Chains A and B, each alone.
Chain A
């Protein structure tokens, strides 16, 4: 098992830059998610880690050794393809044993290891079947088996659950995560599904247009998105943006939205001015009659225990998630209050988050020591 360090990785196809100067680190034993919309460069990044594409420039350190220009066969990593890519002319056993045979592992040893993998994955009963007639779940297990049997330095998975139907995907995701926890293998997993990424990953890299927007723990990415893209891409419904223009002083603890002061964690960094967006997750929006910032209810969606309420505010439409028990009527004007400690502030021109001192007043507000008079 191995640590993978990606350093200034760059890939261009002619004029088109697929991956731009990207850097991140995958720790030994981590379940690492590459997340982004289609065409964001996540699959290209994975293929470069695998050696199926050679980077234009940059380094890929596999256990400290730069393998960026080493072909796939020399890297000792396993890859699980979205469409499984099982060898159609071989049966299950031969598919799983194929990588071992390339290494010249003795026959008896091959047999033992294939049987062991089949037992782990619960596919002993289909071991001698051709792969053609298998269900997609079993194909997926065989593909996993082919990856596991080698005991590679790392597993790379390209949307391995993408071809499964929704119900089965759920189960397979759990199986995968359980398998990872048991084997402790470094795993890099590409997905465009933010829920899958949050659910399974130890860490997430969010990519867009070939650029790494942010990487870190799912909680950090969700709570403190580094860019407006990340804030919107992660979460359902996504983070709300309340847009406004202002001149911000260093150390400011409020911003003014349409004449109403809204407190937020203390602003770090130099004075700036321009257009900004105040970011707030739907579940951190409260409806409170005494709040000064007001909006009108334009729609409600009932989701069982919670409901999503769409609000029209002077700074743009937002959505909030509140308990279903709270009565709300369409057309009603309501006061809106935000959980101060959870707010993010973005420069609307660059899309980047401004640094906020999370430790200071926000904490007090969250603990209820300070009343917000929004």
Chain B
């Protein structure tokens, strides 16, 4: 086919658009690439000036991230038994010995439990609430929806002190449950509003057809509405997860030990044994992985979700 088309961009336009997108991607990805690169540098390379783009990669940062170490006087090092593995060798080369695992693993696991737990809870409650708001005659529906939205009208951190006091008297401070409830409370308004929009777009006739076909209301919801809402659920889940995963202020304030998530923990690594930037970068790099994996798995839905409703089918 040849000739001029008003809907199809020309080859030149596509090329320009491609270059612009590539440039934008480069600008956005550069800091991430720098973090990943730093995580494989030695401490000396990481603070070298001018910055080193080409360097000898090492996993010292990762070893330091997962271990606690103590410095050993040079004359005593030789009296130690030979290093049992490569990690110990790396540490020994720095003039130190491993004294135990770091708390990064536990903090990371806390982030997983709290991030995914609150995302699941937000989506679970949000879908049910959104379905009810979308389909049933709820008294004071508009007021309730506005009330739900209003919980997002100030920055959550503005109520940090009341929440801190509340958590203390309820015994929720520094617990997984407390953090899951908190992040769910923050995310639920977003979830209800987004999901209501998605469910509103699903014609009622689908459920009605299922009701007529002999299914109960709940079966119709589960078997017909949910698959149709998958796109909305996936994109909402990503937004909820990103918030809960990255949240820093409440995590600093309300967690210190058992339930501490990775974001407040990662900066503390730097204090262990000097300016250990590679270990911090390693912590940040690993911390990126779950969100990246989750987003990539759901990216098909995410793209559709963001543009959903823009085009009538």
Residues of A within 8 A of B (CB): 50-52, 71-73, 76-79, 81, 83, 85-89, 98-99, 102-103, 146, 150
Who on chain A is nearest to B213 by CB? A99
Q: Is the CB of A85 within 8 A of B203?
A: yes
A73 with B215: CB separation less than 8 A: yes
- Whether, in the assembled complex, B214 has its beta carbon less than 8 Å from a beta carbon of chain A, the answer is yes
Q: How far is the CA of A81 from the CA of B204 in the complex (A)?
A: 11
Q: For the complex formed, measure the closest distance between the CB of B136 and the CB atoms of chain A, giving whole angstroms.
A: 13
Q: Which residue from chain B places its CB closest to the CB of A81 in the assembled complex?
A: B205
Main secondary structure of the interface of A (DSSP, over half): loop
Verify B203–A99 contact, CB threshold 8 A.
Answer: no
Residues of A within 8 A of B213 (CB): 73, 98-99, 102, 146, 150
Most buried by B among A52, A71, A73, A89: A73
Answer yes or no: B208 CB below 8 A from chain A CBs: yes
Chain A minimum-CB-distance residue to B207: A85
Instruction: State in angstroms the CA–CA spacing of A102 and B218 once bound together.
Output: 13
Which of the listed residues A50, A71, A85, A146 has the most CB atoms from chain B within 10 Å of its own CB? A85
Measured between C-beta atoms, what is the minimum distance from A84 to chain B in Å? 8
Across the interface, do B228 and A73 meet the contact criterion of CB distance under 8 Å? no
18 A/B residue pairs, CB under 8 Å, sorted by A? A51-B212, A52-B212, A71-B211, A73-B212, A78-B212, A81-B209, A83-B205, A85-B208, A87-B206, A87-B224, A88-B206, A89-B227, A89-B228, A98-B213, A99-B212, A102-B213, A103-B214, A150-B213
Q: How large is the interface on B (under 10, 10 to 19, 20 to 34, 35 or more residues)?
A: 10 to 19
Are A72 and B208 interface neighbours, CB within 8 A? yes
Partner of B215, one of A81, A83, A102: A102
- For B215, the chain A residues whose CB sits under 8 A away are 73, 102
With known contacts A73-B216, A85-B205, A52–B228 Cβ distance under 8 A: no
Q: Is the CB of B212 within 8 A of A77?
A: yes
| Smallest CB-CB A-B distances: 6 pairs | A85-B205, A99-B213, A102-B214, A72-B211, A85-B209, A79-B212
The answer, among B209, B210, B211, B224, for a CB contact under 8 Å with A51, is B211
For B216, the chain A residues whose CB sits under 8 A away are 73
What's the nearest-Cβ distance from chain A to residue B11, in Å? Answer: 29
Which of B212, B224, B227 is close to A50, meaning CB atoms less than 8 Å apart?
Answer: B212
Closest to A79 in B: B212
Give the shortest distance, in Å, between B146 (CB) and chain A (any CB): 21
Scoring B residues 197 to 235 as 1 if CB is less than 8 Å from chain A, else 0, what string do you get?
000000101101111111110010000100110000000
Cβ-closest chain B residue relative to A95: B209
**Known contacts A85-B203, A88-B228; is-contact A52 B214 (Cβ 8 Å):** no
